[in-house]
Chains A and B, each alone.
Chain A
């Protein structure tokens, strides 16, 4: 989830550029191994392009903050301060997603060894990345849905090779 949250924040930060954005989000995590779905939700605040705060109302008290390259989180009783530059998988993930937002689909495909498709669905644009080869870990598929009007992501779906699917939905997006 830590990885996914970083992705969400990175996307939103990039999309928001220098804007201040606040929104409500829900997280839905389907675990294939147990057939159950875990739910979480909270509020997201973007103060600048590299400063974000994510406060969970469910589970209450959890938070996930990003300040520049540093990530500070308290999730399900686990606290950490991570330098994303020191964590290669996180760094790769960030690069991938920043390229994704900037629209460099070729780079994303190369980095993730994936194929991509872009389709339009009403007022939204949907980007789908699919892994070329099966693997034991990582994402088998990523689907990002943008609001065409301002290019802000409204839904993110991450499917892992082990069958776990995590979906984020953003609502009440307010630009300040």
Chain B
């Protein structure tokens, strides 16, 4: 025992936990193209917003905050919060050396218009030159006096993008300074994300202490994951910890011994470490959320220990206790495991983790309880708190099955459950499963209001094995998105990527088009227009030599992606290399209602994909539900089969099966009536209700059969006491979950409390009633005596 415990603790503690809601979905992180969404940096970006002061003051605060954050660069891949002056100059130089590459062949007609309107442009040029403080504007005007750059980027005024104040990024109305941080890890790496978030929060707190007027807000997948993980951990510790403490105190006081506490905890802890070690050996770790849900299973495990320990208290004989309990405990364990193993047939990693962990935990716990624990027990009955047991006896021995008011009320509850079970709602939105703090919600809303006009941002991308292929494919996607924008199906579309990046072939085509357009005659015509307009607007006609040089120069295709001109923090918004493939991103703003239709159009294009795993798995959520119904059916048949094998009688097996079967409909119906929706997490809890429902009915059935045979009339009483304590334990644990902050834990509490209460009521009322009715049949009376 000691040796195996050391081995399991050693390997169990090496198991790694990860926090990724996407793991709920089957193959959720892979698109049809084979892209692993989990590896994309763009989705893990951290958004930090500073507000509450004048823009020029915020600029200083942004620098101060970033100086502080970057004192520890661990976990940070790159940042984007200001564009260095050198970067702008470098970009200008690159642009001037590769002008034709940025000119789409479709926009030469606009050049003609620009030449024709040289006068109007030159008037503006005069103001620009006279107010130029750095010389850069004059340089720009002398190189592009016709404002041809405006023709290249006509759609950038779509409302998307940044405002630059002293090189710092601001939202379009300049009230919020923006900082983007790309982590050097993935969002579900809870250990790294917690470390980074803690560091940033500390820096933000320091800044806010120093400058109370400034407000620092932060959001992003990493912040969500961290909030989820920390809230879930806190909820688990608080709800299960406190409820376990209450339960153990009640148990110890009931039996007037504190040995009961460690005798209960030891098998459960052994089972948990055994399971963790198995998870480590099989797959290196598990989902933290699966672990959180599985904490309830430890409640089931505790229930087996209780049956053994309470029975021992009554019989005071370890061998007799084992003889009485081995079969029902093993049977209960097998049927519960059967219910959990059903989850392995689903395609969701998280559900598989939960099923596997629970199975191993129950195996380890039951093994310890039946093999190791008896060595610690003494052959003597223990004292018990008589007052408390009087109450328990009153509750347990009350003839619920003979009270027609109770029976009719229960039947009414079941019938109502049946009727309404089809109306239970299923919450498909994964956002509602994760925990969102108020600060996080505020940050997301502020960002959306200021930058996305309250619409929903949706990334589309093209993916290809080479950059050139990706760039060619992006041209088609860009045209499609632009047509959607013009049709009003997309609120805004930022074509930055398609303007900045072109394949070599496309650049070559554009250079040819440039040469065809800028014939010597056309150059002369443009220069004449520029000179005339300059004279008219009191500017020297000789300053536009750079413009003429630009028109007459020879050009070669360039590689902006590899040029180093655009900093990594900005570049990753447009192009990312992932899993040996190149992705080019396009950002759109859309109304939520139109997103699916637009995404369908994009997803149908070659090389194009919707950068949202939920898009590809949207139907899979429905599939999981169907999947889950199949799983429940398989589990039910498995449980019925085991009951049939065990009791060797179809009537007895069906009566034992009844609480589990009926409670599922009661849960569905009453959740529908109370307006509590099912989600992908709490639906899993139904397996737990299945398992525990079967356990109780097995123990009660064993007692009923024993009573009927008159071979130990107190067995039913003992089992009912154990069922009472087990139910007490679980109801306290589940009830405590109702106070959890995390919506997942909370929703589990809701469905489980209903399930537990209905299971116990059915087990205490309908099961004995039906058994009694069955025993009125002479055939059944004879048969029950012959059962093994």
Contact = CB atoms under 8 A, between A and B. Distances in A.
A134 interface: no
Interface stretch (A11-19, A76-84, A96-104): A76-84
Contact of B138 (A1, A33, A80, A89): A33
A162 B139 contact: yes
A122 interface: no
Interface string B434-446: 0000000000000
B543 A33 contact: yes
Nearest to A73: B56
Contacts of B141: 33
A76 B85 contact: no
Contacts of A34: 126, 129-130, 538-540
A88 interface: yes
B697 interface: no
Interface residues on B, range: 20 to 34
Interface string A77-119: 0011111001111000000000000000000000000000000
A163 B546 CA distance: 14
A131 interface: no
Contacts of A76: 131, 133
A31 B57 CA distance: 32
Given A81-B59, A162-B142, A88 B85 contact: yes
A160 B136 CA distance: 11
A70 interface: yes
A31 B133 CA distance: 11
Contacts of B135: 137-138, 160-162, 164
B133 A75 contact: yes
B419 interface: no
Judged by DSSP, the binding face of B is helix
Given A34-B129, A89-B85, A136 B139 contact: yes
A81 B142 CA distance: 29
Interface residues of A, number: 31
Given A35-B540, A137-B136, A81 B57 contact: yes
A175 interface: no
Contact of B89 (A70, A81, A137): A137
B4 interface: no
Nearest to A1: B133
Nearest to A83: B63
B84 interface: yes
A38 interface: yes
Q: Which of B84, B135, B136 has the most CB of A within 10 A?
A: B135
A32 interface: yes
Contacts of A79: 54, 56
Contacts of B540: 32-35
Interface in B130-157: 130-136, 138-139, 141-142
A33 B85 CA distance: 24
Contact of A33 (B57, B136, B142, B165): B142
A137 B130 contact: no
Contacts of B427: none
Interface string B81-115: 01011100100000000000000000000000000
Nearest to B60: A81
Contact of A38 (B84, B130, B142): B130
Contacts of B136: 137
Interface in A141-171: 160-164
A2 interface: yes
B534 to A, nearest CB: 9
B54 to A, nearest CB: 8
Contacts of A176: none
A136 to B, nearest CB: 6
B319 interface: no
Contacts of A163: 543
B92 to A, nearest CB: 9
B129 A2 contact: no
19 contacts: A1-B133, A2-B134, A31-B129, A33-B142, A34-B130, A35-B538, A70-B60, A79-B56, A81-B57, A81-B60, A81-B166, A87-B85, A88-B85, A89-B85, A89-B86, A138-B135, A162-B139, A163-B543, A164-B135
Interface of A: 1-3, 31-36, 38, 70, 72, 75-76, 79-83, 86-89, 136-138, 160-164
Q: Which 10 A-B pairs have the closest CB atoms?
A: A1-B133, A81-B56, A33-B543, A33-B129, A81-B60, A79-B56, A80-B166, A162-B138, A80-B56, A160-B135
Given A31-B129, A87-B167, 10 more contacts: A1-B133, A2-B133, A2-B134, A33-B540, A34-B540, A79-B54, A79-B56, A89-B86, A138-B135, A162-B543
